[in-house]
Amino acid sequence: MSEYQELVREINACQKCALSQKRTNAVPGEGSTTADIMFIGEGPGYYEDQQGRPFVGRAGQVLNDLLATIGLKREDVYITNMLKCRPPENRDPLQNEIAACGGYLDRQIKLIAPKVIVTLGRFSFGKFFPGEAISKARGTPRKWGDLWIYPIYHPAAVLHNPRLKPALENDFKRLPELIRSINEPASQEAEGEKEPQQLSMF
């Protein structure tokens, strides 16, 4: 069994917090385990809990549509959540639940080693930059250790407030350029350039 499969097995059997008691299925995450881009949402909703898969409800359809606008499919990226089990009535995650579940997410990040983590909404952004408003931070990539964090609105937010949709679409469209900008300095360094360029478009 691979390290990733072992992690999925542990999540599916986990009883570290009370959310384990009411779940139908845990939702570890899915997609490419060698992806450049990792999306982190908040927690599973009704359909995710039923199917054991992330982002398969209405917010998932928004995410699929956004991926298509930049020529990607779900299989090209990795998709997961802060919490692997559904909070009752889709309430916000509690701090003790985030703390209990956080080790799984940390292991996923380490195993997948993406180039960019796209945080969907305020809870996953808060894991990396606590206490900052997503409305101000969105659309600007930031370094967090060796990783780039790219905060954007949660797809569910545009279902509740359609006025946020243009911002989410625009932020999404900049993702390919961000990946290119990250890759360029790496290739230039490999070719022996002494002063790699900064991220140009941001």
**Residue numbers at the binding site for ligand SF4 (CB under 6 A):** 11, 14-17, 19-20, 26, 83-85, 97, 100-101
Find how far residue 195's CA is from the centre of its chain.
Answer: 31
Least distance in Å: CB of 28 to ligand SF4? Answer: 8
- Amino acid letter, residue 66: L
Between residues 72 and 101, which has the closer beta carbon with respect to ligand SF4? 101
Between residues 59 and 82, which has the closer beta carbon with respect to ligand SF4? 82
Least distance in Å: CB of 35 to ligand SF4? Answer: 21
CA distances from 67 to 73, 96, 129, 149, 154 (A): 6, 32, 25, 18, 14
Between residues 101 and 152, which has the closer beta carbon with respect to ligand SF4? 101
Least distance in Å: CB of 85 to ligand SF4? Answer: 3
Running DSSP on this structure, what letter comes out for residue 91? P
- Amino acid letter, residue 28: P
Least distance in Å: CB of 143 to ligand SF4? Answer: 28
Find how far residue 44's CA is from the centre of its chain.
Answer: 13
Least distance in Å: CB of 79 to ligand SF4? Answer: 16
Q: Which two tokens stand for residue 79?
A: 């998709």
Helix 3-13 and helix 95-112: axis angle, to 10°? 160
Between residues 41 and 141, which has the closer beta carbon with respect to ligand SF4? 41
Between residues 25 and 33, which has the closer beta carbon with respect to ligand SF4? 25
Q: E strands along 54-177, which residues? A: 78-81, 116-120, 142-144, 147-152
Rg of the chain in Å (alpha carbons) = 17
